[in-house]
Amino acid sequence: MKIRDGFVSNSSSSSFICKTCLPLKKIKEKLEQIVKWYNEIYDINLAFGDIFEDPKHGTKKDWEDIGPYTNDDDIWAETYEEKDITNNIIIYSAEDNSVPFVLHDIIYDRFDAERIHMG
């Protein structure tokens, strides 16, 4: 039997691969609006950078970091060569668990996105 000593965390980071054709600037503006809405609804004061990193075009390094990914619909290829995500936008979470769950569906719908659990 394995025994752990100390604190064990269930934290994880996320990224969203977006198939939108919006420019990066517009995606960031929309994400800022979503953060503003979230702050108003929940009466808190989070900054954009508390939740997200700036959106960026996917690179081969991003694909290697994310690793092979398929979802239930099997829309993502298993290798970088099969699905070049440089044609897609990636939104990374700022930190572990920084993207409130309630925002996930908004991001899925608004940017035609898939969430990638980064572990």
- 89 in Cβ contact with 58 (< 8 Å): yes
Quote the pTM value.
0.75
Which pLDDT score is estimated for 97?
86
Low-confidence ranges of the chain (pLDDT < 70): 1-13, 66-87, 117-119
pLDDT in tens, 61-76: 777 776 655 444 444 4
Over its C-alpha atoms, the chain yields an Rg (Å, rounded) of: 16
Which pLDDT score is estimated for 114?
83
Domain-wise residue ranges, the chain: 14-117
CA atoms of 11 and 28, how far apart (whole Å) = 25
Q: What is the 3-state secondary structure (H, E, C) of 52-115?
A: ECCCEECCHHHHHHHCCCCCCCCCCCCCCCCCCHHHCEEEEECCCCCCCHHHHHHHHHHHCEEE
Burial readout 39-61 (b: 16 or more C-beta within 10 A, e: otherwise): eeeeeeeeeeeebbeebeebeee
CA atoms of 100 and 93, how far apart (whole Å) = 10
